[in-house]
Amino acid sequence: MGLRKLWQYRSIVKEAWDQTMAVATLLCGLHVTNTYLCTLGLAYGPSMLPTFNLTGDLFLADRLSTMFGKVGRGDVVLVRSPENPRKLLAKRLLGMQGDSVTYVVDPKNSDRSETVVVPKGHVWIEGDNIYASRDSRQYGPVPYGLVEGKIFWKIWPPKEFGSLGQSRMKDPDL
Protein backbone atom coordinates (compact mmCIF):
# COMPACT_ATOMS: atom_id res chain seq x y z
CA MET A 1 0.00 0.00 0.00
CA GLY A 2 2.77 2.39 0.99
CA LEU A 3 4.81 1.26 -1.98
CA ARG A 4 2.14 2.33 -4.45
CA LYS A 5 1.98 5.80 -2.88
CA LEU A 6 5.73 6.06 -3.21
CA TRP A 7 5.44 5.10 -6.85
CA GLN A 8 2.86 7.86 -7.44
CA TYR A 9 5.13 10.41 -5.80
CA ARG A 10 7.95 9.24 -8.03
CA SER A 11 6.12 10.25 -11.20
CA ILE A 12 5.14 13.64 -9.76
CA VAL A 13 8.67 14.29 -8.61
CA LYS A 14 10.00 13.29 -12.00
CA GLU A 15 7.60 15.62 -13.78
CA ALA A 16 8.46 18.47 -11.43
CA TRP A 17 12.14 17.82 -12.03
CA ASP A 18 11.73 17.77 -15.80
CA GLN A 19 9.86 21.05 -15.80
CA THR A 20 12.37 22.67 -13.46
CA MET A 21 15.19 21.54 -15.75
CA ALA A 22 13.36 22.98 -18.74
CA VAL A 23 12.96 26.35 -17.00
CA ALA A 24 16.56 26.24 -15.82
CA THR A 25 17.77 25.52 -19.35
CA LEU A 26 15.76 28.44 -20.68
CA LEU A 27 17.16 30.79 -18.04
CA CYS A 28 20.65 29.54 -18.77
CA GLY A 29 20.16 30.23 -22.44
CA LEU A 30 18.89 33.71 -21.68
CA HIS A 31 21.78 34.39 -19.37
CA VAL A 32 24.36 33.23 -21.89
CA THR A 33 22.80 35.42 -24.57
CA ASN A 34 22.76 38.33 -22.17
CA THR A 35 26.37 37.95 -21.15
CA TYR A 36 28.06 36.99 -24.39
CA LEU A 37 25.86 38.09 -27.26
CA CYS A 38 23.43 40.90 -26.75
CA THR A 39 21.83 42.54 -23.74
CA LEU A 40 18.83 44.72 -23.07
CA GLY A 41 19.16 47.89 -21.03
CA LEU A 42 17.29 50.91 -19.80
CA ALA A 43 19.07 54.25 -20.04
CA TYR A 44 17.75 57.23 -18.12
CA GLY A 45 19.07 60.61 -17.10
CA PRO A 46 20.01 63.80 -18.90
CA SER A 47 23.60 63.04 -19.81
CA MET A 48 22.96 61.58 -23.26
CA LEU A 49 20.33 64.02 -24.55
CA PRO A 50 19.26 64.18 -27.33
CA THR A 51 20.36 60.64 -28.18
CA PHE A 52 18.63 59.13 -25.16
CA ASN A 53 15.60 60.65 -23.44
CA LEU A 54 15.55 61.86 -19.90
CA THR A 55 12.89 59.46 -18.69
CA GLY A 56 14.28 56.24 -20.09
CA ASP A 57 14.96 54.44 -23.33
CA LEU A 58 15.32 50.72 -23.91
CA PHE A 59 18.31 49.73 -25.96
CA LEU A 60 20.13 46.66 -27.20
CA ALA A 61 23.86 46.41 -26.63
CA ASP A 62 26.07 43.78 -28.20
CA ARG A 63 28.89 42.17 -26.25
CA LEU A 64 30.88 40.72 -29.11
CA SER A 65 32.21 44.07 -30.31
CA THR A 66 33.94 44.79 -27.04
CA MET A 67 35.31 41.27 -26.79
CA PHE A 68 36.93 41.54 -30.19
CA GLY A 69 38.03 45.15 -29.80
CA LYS A 70 35.69 46.44 -32.50
CA VAL A 71 34.54 49.57 -30.70
CA GLY A 72 35.73 52.89 -32.00
CA ARG A 73 35.22 56.61 -31.89
CA GLY A 74 31.61 57.71 -32.13
CA ASP A 75 30.11 54.54 -30.68
CA VAL A 76 27.75 54.70 -27.74
CA VAL A 77 29.05 52.18 -25.23
CA LEU A 78 27.85 50.52 -22.06
CA VAL A 79 30.60 51.04 -19.50
CA ARG A 80 30.91 50.18 -15.82
CA SER A 81 31.35 53.31 -13.75
CA PRO A 82 34.87 53.85 -12.38
CA GLU A 83 33.32 55.66 -9.43
CA ASN A 84 30.72 53.08 -8.48
CA PRO A 85 31.32 49.52 -9.69
CA ARG A 86 27.65 48.65 -9.28
CA LYS A 87 26.55 51.23 -11.85
CA LEU A 88 26.56 50.95 -15.61
CA LEU A 89 26.78 54.05 -17.75
CA ALA A 90 25.83 54.73 -21.34
CA LYS A 91 28.25 57.24 -22.86
CA ARG A 92 29.75 58.01 -26.22
CA LEU A 93 33.30 56.95 -26.89
CA LEU A 94 35.24 59.92 -28.17
CA GLY A 95 38.85 58.80 -27.98
CA MET A 96 40.80 55.55 -28.21
CA GLN A 97 44.26 54.98 -26.76
CA GLY A 98 46.81 57.37 -28.20
CA ASP A 99 44.23 59.90 -29.37
CA SER A 100 44.54 63.54 -28.45
CA VAL A 101 41.16 64.65 -27.08
CA THR A 102 40.13 68.30 -26.79
CA TYR A 103 37.20 68.93 -24.50
CA VAL A 104 35.39 71.81 -22.87
CA VAL A 105 36.05 71.51 -19.16
CA ASP A 106 32.99 73.27 -17.75
CA PRO A 107 30.68 74.47 -20.55
CA LYS A 108 28.15 76.02 -18.20
CA ASN A 109 30.61 78.48 -16.71
CA SER A 110 33.44 78.98 -19.15
CA ASP A 111 34.67 78.33 -22.67
CA ARG A 112 38.00 76.91 -21.51
CA SER A 113 39.01 73.76 -23.28
CA GLU A 114 41.81 71.33 -22.52
CA THR A 115 43.64 68.73 -24.52
CA VAL A 116 44.72 65.38 -23.17
CA VAL A 117 46.29 62.27 -24.70
CA VAL A 118 44.45 59.06 -23.91
CA PRO A 119 46.91 56.59 -22.32
CA LYS A 120 47.43 53.02 -23.47
CA GLY A 121 44.61 50.65 -22.64
CA HIS A 122 42.15 53.47 -21.91
CA VAL A 123 39.27 55.22 -23.66
CA TRP A 124 37.72 58.67 -23.36
CA ILE A 125 33.97 58.75 -22.85
CA GLU A 126 31.64 61.73 -22.80
CA GLY A 127 27.90 62.17 -22.59
CA ASP A 128 26.25 63.81 -25.60
CA ASN A 129 24.81 66.45 -23.27
CA ILE A 130 28.03 67.96 -21.98
CA TYR A 131 26.13 70.39 -19.77
CA ALA A 132 24.73 67.63 -17.59
CA SER A 133 27.07 64.70 -17.83
CA ARG A 134 29.62 63.26 -15.46
CA ASP A 135 32.22 61.57 -17.60
CA SER A 136 35.90 61.44 -18.53
CA ARG A 137 36.08 65.20 -18.22
CA GLN A 138 35.65 64.72 -14.48
CA TYR A 139 37.21 61.34 -13.74
CA GLY A 140 39.67 60.97 -16.59
CA PRO A 141 40.12 58.27 -19.21
CA VAL A 142 38.56 54.94 -18.38
CA PRO A 143 40.35 51.55 -18.76
CA TYR A 144 39.06 49.60 -21.76
CA GLY A 145 38.40 46.62 -19.46
CA LEU A 146 35.41 48.49 -18.04
CA VAL A 147 33.68 48.76 -21.43
CA GLU A 148 31.03 46.08 -21.39
CA GLY A 149 29.02 46.49 -24.58
CA LYS A 150 28.33 48.58 -27.64
CA ILE A 151 24.84 50.04 -27.88
CA PHE A 152 23.60 49.63 -31.41
CA TRP A 153 19.80 49.66 -31.39
CA LYS A 154 17.07 51.53 -29.59
CA ILE A 155 13.81 49.67 -29.02
CA TRP A 156 11.73 52.07 -26.91
CA PRO A 157 10.07 54.59 -27.40
CA PRO A 158 8.59 53.16 -30.59
CA LYS A 159 8.93 56.35 -32.59
CA GLU A 160 12.67 56.24 -32.03
CA PHE A 161 13.03 52.56 -32.85
CA GLY A 162 16.16 51.94 -34.85
CA SER A 163 19.87 52.35 -34.85
CA LEU A 164 21.49 55.24 -33.03
CA GLY A 165 22.98 58.18 -34.88
CA GLN A 166 26.71 58.16 -35.52
CA SER A 167 29.21 60.46 -33.85
CA ARG A 168 27.68 63.69 -32.72
CA MET A 169 28.42 66.71 -34.90
CA LYS A 170 31.12 68.82 -33.34
CA ASP A 171 30.35 72.50 -33.58
CA PRO A 172 33.00 73.84 -35.99
CA ASP A 173 32.84 77.25 -34.33
CA LEU A 174 34.03 75.90 -30.94
Q: Which residues are the active-site residues? A: 47, 91
DSSP notation for 108-158: TT---EEEEEPPTTEEEEE-S-GGG--SHHHH--EEGGGEEEEEEEEEESG
Site for other proteins contains 142 (CB under 8 A): yes
| Interface positions, 82-101, toward other proteins (CB under 8 A) | 82-85
Site for other proteins contains 117 (CB under 8 A): no
Q: How far is the CB of 83 from other proteins (least distance, A)?
A: 4
DSSP state of 35: I
| Cβ atoms of 141 and 62 closer than 8 Å | no
Site for other proteins contains 61 (CB under 8 A): no
Q: How far is the CB of 143 from other proteins (least distance, A)?
A: 4
* Stretch in the footprint of other proteins (CB under 8 A) among 54-62, 101-109, 137-145, 157-165: 137-145
Check residue 64 and give left, alpha or beta (phi > 0: left; psi -120 to 50: alpha): alpha
* Stretch in the footprint of other proteins (CB under 8 A) among 2-10, 49-57, 116-124, 130-138: 116-124
- Closest to 77 measured CA to CA, from 148, 16, 23, 144: 148
Q: How many other β-carbons are positioned within 10 Å of the β-carbon of residue 60? A: 16
> Which of 17, 161 has the CB closer to other proteins?
17
> Which of 83, 111 has the CB closer to other proteins?
83
Whole-angstrom Cα distance, residue 155 to residue 90? 15
List of residues contacting other proteins (CB under 8 A): 28, 32, 80-85, 119-122, 139, 142-146
